[in-house]
């Protein structure tokens, strides 16, 4: 493989709007040959949009992108690829009738209609690339027969077949085991050693930090920090974005954990295709207990909730009140008292606040529904003031309150709260915190909270689980989290 030198990707003042949303706002950075730049940030930060802008999948509204001083912003993807930019996609969509070797050969062929048949060296070059990424043993197999890690290797092989100057790597560690993460880190490190410029995006912050030369952190479309991995991970703004601020634990009355758990999750495994999203996860939640599942984006929190809610197939066992939930539909599980408030809220945008709430309480007698509404208005007074307003016109914080309120209208026995703080201002977080404390003190509702923001999750928790890379790596009391797990959370 050719050794590269002197290639530089330059991004200056990049802006991309989607309607009224500014997804990328005045982003500037360089990636030099022989360097890996890690691009990190929570969901919605704009990382994927930056990758799409560089690759020409999305056109910028403003700004400049250049490769070795030649402007490439706004060019179609095939021309950007021809200029020397390769991309390793997160999701593999291979041709199912072609072998691994044939996929690599296709990437090696010239992109001209008159030169569709490669010369005799194409086969040997394809086999060299396959060997380099660890695919020699499966080079003649079809994609559907491959392990997930081998599909990811094939994406790397295709990306480097054109000998790119710059390689964009999107979420390389998602769905991989710890051992496979180590192997892929070595493959990506080899790209740097060959003199290529590498832009790496991944939710696995620890793996990124161990591999990259520099880190560029984004939040809500803007740059919040850049520098070495140590500098960025210790940056006060970055830690506040990921952790939410100073770790604090409120004193809480003890709950009864000697009785049989209300919810039992034992040895849970979930795959998305061949990617493992959860591996041997076990969780218990007792009646009236508040339990927090903390983990960075991509750890598997939403997958865990979707499995509990009956929305995903899984291996292992989930029991509610001692009864197995296996084979039960999501609707039946909800009727039996497990209600999930999803990260994406899923409100009926065209319906009013009142209509969104009443839909969730239709199974209740009218008088009972009215009583429940009045209780909700005490919990979230702003909803009463917005009763006739359509959900789509509410602010983000108001929508989150409505999403939680709609779940509470169903009178859950177990409430699954998925990332309720995502993208919310501090003043809204305070209101949500007070509401959760009210639930804790005055209702029999049991809550399982999934959060990246540990400073929101800990004060409301009787117990804490840390989910990292599809596995539970720590569990214990909130008072022990800061000392035993908080230091290494990022």
How far apart CA 111 and CA 118 sit, in angstroms, is: 11
pLDDT in the model for residue 427: 65
With residue 473 as reference, give the H or E element that holds it: strand 471-476
d(CA 216, CA 207) in angstroms, rounded, equals: 15
Tens digit of each residue's pLDDT (9 = 90 or more) over 338-357:
999 998 888 988 899 999 99
Q: Determine whether 487 is exposed, middle or buried from the number of CB atoms within 10 Å of its CB (0-12, 13-18, 19+).
A: exposed
Six token digits for residue 409: 């209208």
Q: How many CA atoms lie within 13 A of 143 on its CB side?
A: 17
Q: Of the ranges 99-113, 212-226, 343-357, 362-376, which one carries the lowest mean pLDDT score?
A: 99-113
**Cβ count near 39 (within 10 Å):** 27
Q: How far is CA 376 from CA 253, 283, 404, 405, 434, in A?
A: 25, 29, 10, 6, 13
Interatomic CA distance for residues 190 and 188, integer angstroms? 5
Spatial distance between the Cα atoms of 67 and 30, rounded to a whole number of angstroms: 10
Residue 335: which of 283, 402, 413 has the closest Cα?
Answer: 413
In 3D, which of 281, 280, 342 has the Cα closest to residue 309?
342
d(CA 244, CA 20): 26
pTM, 2 dp = 0.63
Task: State how far the Cα of 285 lies from the Cα of 342, in Å rounded to an integer.
Answer: 19
Q: Whose CA is closest to 17, among 49, 44, 40?
A: 49
Q: What is the pLDDT of residues 130-148, one digit of tens each?
A: 999 889 999 999 888 888 8
- Mean predicted lDDT score pLDDT of the chain: 85
pLDDT over 50 at 445, yes or no: yes
Mean pLDDT of 384-406: 87
Rg of the chain on CA atoms, in Å: 25
- For 74-131, what is each residue's pLDDT tens digit? 899 989 998 999 988 877 778 888 898 889 888 887 655 445 455 668 888 888 999 9
Angstrom distance (rounded) from CA 334 to CA 387? 25
Place of tokens 């569709």: 116
Closest CA to 34 of 229, 213, 216: 213
The domains found in the chain, sorted by start residue, are 8-243 (3.40.50.300), 263-488 (3.40.50.300)
């Amino acid at each position: 493989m050719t050794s590269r030198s002197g290639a530089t990707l330059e991004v200056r003042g990049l802006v991309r709007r989607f309607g009224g949303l500014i997804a990328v706002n005045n982003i500037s950075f360089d990636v030099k040959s022989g360097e890996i730049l890690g691009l990190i940030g929570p969901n919605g930060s704009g990382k994927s949009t930056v990758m799409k802008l560089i690759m020409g999948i999305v056109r910028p509204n403003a700004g400049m992108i250049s490769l070795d001083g030649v402007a490439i912003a706004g060019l179609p993807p095939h021309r950007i690829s021809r200029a020397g930019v390769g991309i390793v996609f997160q999701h593999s969509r291979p041709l199912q009738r072609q072998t691994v070797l044939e996929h690599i050969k296709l990437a090696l062929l010239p992109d001209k209609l008159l030169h569709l048949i490669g010369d005799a060296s194409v086969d040997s070059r394809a086999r060299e690339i396959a060997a380099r990424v660890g695919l020699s043993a499966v080079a003649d197999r079809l994609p559907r027969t491959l392990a997930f890690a081998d599909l990811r290797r094939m994406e790397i092989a295709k990306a480097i077949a054109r000998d790119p100057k710059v390689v964009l790597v999107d979420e390389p560690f998602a769905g991989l085991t710890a051992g496979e993460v180590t192997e892929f880190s070595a493959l990506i490190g080899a790209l740097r050693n060959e003199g290529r410029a590498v832009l790496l995006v991944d939710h696995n912050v620890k793996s990124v930090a161990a591999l990259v030369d520099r880190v560029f952190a984004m939040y809500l479309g803007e740059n919040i920090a850049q520098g070495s991995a140590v500098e960025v991970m210790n940056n006060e703004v970055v830690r506040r974005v990921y952790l939410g601020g100073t770790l604090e634990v409120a004193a809480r009355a003890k709950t009864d954990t000697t009785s049989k758990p209300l919810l039992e999750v034992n040895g849970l495994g979930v795959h998305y295709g061949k990617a493992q999203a959860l591996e041997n996860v076990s969780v218990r939640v007792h009646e009236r207990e508040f339990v927090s599942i903390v983990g960075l984006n991509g750890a598997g929190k939403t997958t865990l909730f979707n499995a509990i809610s009956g929305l995903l197939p899984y291996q292992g066992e989930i029991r509610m009140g001692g009864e197995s939930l296996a084979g039960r539909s999501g609707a039946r599980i909800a009727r039996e008292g497990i209600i999930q408030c999803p990260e994406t809220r899923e409100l009926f945008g065209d319906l009013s606040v009142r209509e969104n709430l009443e839909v969730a309480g239709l199974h209740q007698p009218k008088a009972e529904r009215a009583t429940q509404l009045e209780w909700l208005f005490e919990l979230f007074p702003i909803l009463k003031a917005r009763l006739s307003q359509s959900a789509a016109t509410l602010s983000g914080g108001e929508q989150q309150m409505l999403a939680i309120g709609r779940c509470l209208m169903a009178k859950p026995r177990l409430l699954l709260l998925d990332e309720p703080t995502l993208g919310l201002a501090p003043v809204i977080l305070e209101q949500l915190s007070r509401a959760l404390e009210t639930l804790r003190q005055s209702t029999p509702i049991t809550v399982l909270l999934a959060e990246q923001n540990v400073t929101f999750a800990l004060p409301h928790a009787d117990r804490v689980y840390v989910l990292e890379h599809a596995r539970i790596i720590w569990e214990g009391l909130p008072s022990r989290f800061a000392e035993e797990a908080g230091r290494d959370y990022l």
